[in-house]
Chain A
Amino acid sequence: MAAPPLAIVVWLFFVPFLSSAHLSFLRDGQWSLQNYALVWRLYKIDVLYTLGISLLSLALVIGIAALVCGYIRIVGHRAVEFLFKVPLFVPFVVVGHGMRVLLAPRGTLNSALAQVGVVDLSDPPSVAFTWIGIVISLVWKNLALAVLLVLGAYRAVDEPFLEAARNMGASTFRQIRDILLPMSAPSLVVASAFMFTSMLASFSIPLMIGGGEPPHMLMVDVYYRINYQDDLGTANALGMVSYLFAMGVAGYYLRTITARPL
């Protein structure tokens, strides 16, 4: 009974995954490390760029979610809670396009801001097609999931802890910082690990809103390497770099969930 689904996933994911590793060590049919040398020479900035964007987006997402969820948990705000769930089901390509239209030099945001005189239309600033655009889009999309996960963790914290803190005169912020955050730290770590990999592996958003000039995010590099250079070896070596990071995150994740008493 397990056979057909297992066969599909092994055939179309596990085998290609192994062949990806295999091909990354081949150049012109010979075993070689040339692909990796090329990755080092051409793409080391891109690797750092990808890590930087992912880490910054993750920090912003978790930071905002920690505060917003604290507010929702302690004070309560149905409308805000619902609104934050909206991006959950907005596909990445739609986010990419929406942000292009909004943030481009001639986008709707500049257009609107010019009406109140904040932006000079003869020299409009561009947020799309830069790393800032990618960060904004990733944060916007991932906030929904983060809010859902963090709010779940916050709601699992028993009310008496918060009541005690309130009786001692703790502000909302102090309740978040000193009670909610420390008590839901393990869930936050799991959520972060998960989102970090998905940001690292994000493809359509940087493809649509990233700049035309390098540096690109890793997945975009892989795609361009295949599409424009038809160079499977280097593309797979780049892929291997991304697997290594994912593996590191997965290891961290497994250690955290197995260390936690069930």
Chain B
Amino acid sequence: MFTRLALRMAATVLVTFVIFAPLSSLVLWSFTRRWSWPHPFPQELALFYWRKVLEGDLFRALQSGFLIAVIVTAATLVLTVPLAYLLARYPVPFKAVILLVFLLPHAFPQLPVFVNTTTLLYRVNLAASFSGVVLIHMVGALVYAVWTMTAVFRSIPESLEEAAWNLGASRLKTFLTVALPLATPGLVASTLLVFLYSLDEFTGTLLVGSPFVLTLPVYMYRTSVGYELQVASIAALVLMLPGLVLLVVLERHLKSEYLSMFGRL
């Protein structure tokens, strides 16, 4: 009995260490004012860099990234909800082809494709612009939303809508008063994850946005490879925060179908 308890404790400690080792290093570095090698710990801890960074470029990157994510999420929601409902309920023509198109970005490496997307956007003068970045985020966001939201509508029993039709409700009224309210929790979860996707997107933003549009992941990458370790660590912590909040809120409801996409951020 005692050894079992000890084993459980050991497992918790080990896993905590493995999971938090890279994350706690970030926390340590973010508060470091001076840490010269080979000192085991920072010689001077301070809020210096936090203060410095939150007033400067980091805040601007956060702001534009946030704005992009809001626009991407709103547009995705408006475009996807009707489509997902149609795909889940009606015999849409060429349904297989449509679903295949929405499967492609999921099944192929994105970077080499986005390289060509960037060339394409240059031709229509949208590269290195705010709208270009919104558009490139829309690709991943739409794919993700179409798959999850179709699944959400499919999980609602069709008999409820049939009952509404039998009582004389129109298709539109049925959708608005029966299907939509029932689907709301699933749609909210999916929407939150679309928002997080856009906030964390790196590859497309780096290719399409450079050099003018700076979001937090790109800013963090630049500072990290430029060895501005304190600044990068603060950016990393700020970037991680929304995801961790979401994890705590959604933990019980996390289903694999909502998350497979997050293998690719």
Contact = CB atoms under 8 A, between A and B. Distances in A.
For chain A, the bracket of interface size reads 35 or more
Interface string A126-158: 000000000000001010010011001000000
Nearest to B80: A5
Interface residues of B, number: 80
Interface in A69-112: 71, 77, 79-80, 82-102, 106-109, 111-112
B101 A194 contact: no
A250 interface: yes
A20 interface: yes
Contact of B120 (A15, A222, A238): A15
Nearest to A122: B38
A23 interface: yes
B47 interface: no
Contacts of B135: 8, 12
Given A89-B243, A91-B200, A97 B26 contact: yes
Interface string B84-125: 001100001000001001101101111111111101110000
Of B38, B108, B119, which is in contact with the most chain A CB atoms at under 10 Å from its CB? B108
B202 A223 contact: no
Contact of B262 (A19, A145, A197): A145
B257 to A, nearest CB: 10
Contacts of A96: 221, 224
Dominant secondary structure at the B interface: helix
Given A93-B217, A243-B109, A1 B22 contact: no
Given A10-B101, A12-B136, A83-B19, A201 B109 contact: yes
B203 interface: yes
B163 interface: no
B116 A98 contact: no
Dominant secondary structure at the A interface: helix
Of B26, B255, B264, B265, which is in contact with the most chain A CB atoms at under 10 Å from its CB? B265
Contact of A121 (B38, B109, B200, B225): B38
B143 A92 contact: no
Contacts of A148: 254, 256, 259
Interface string B193-232: 0001000101100000000000001001100110001001
A4 B80 CA distance: 9
A223 B110 CA distance: 12
Nearest to A107: B25
Contacts of A80: 11-12, 15
A54 B114 CA distance: 22
Contacts of A101: 22, 25-26, 29, 229, 233
Contacts of A89: 196, 240, 243-244, 246-247, 262
Of B104, B116, B138, which is in contact with the most chain A CB atoms at under 10 Å from its CB? B116
Contacts of A195: 263
B28 interface: yes
Nearest to B85: A1
B108 A86 contact: no
Given A85-B251, A92-B265, A201 B23 contact: no
B82 interface: yes
Instruction: List the 5 shortest-distance A-B pairs measured between CB atoms, nearest first.
Output: A239-B112, A89-B243, A98-B22, A201-B109, A16-B116
25 contacts: A9-B101, A9-B104, A9-B142, A12-B139, A13-B105, A14-B104, A15-B120, A19-B119, A86-B23, A88-B247, A89-B240, A90-B240, A93-B220, A97-B220, A101-B25, A101-B26, A140-B22, A149-B256, A201-B111, A204-B221, A232-B115, A239-B111, A239-B115, A242-B109, A246-B107
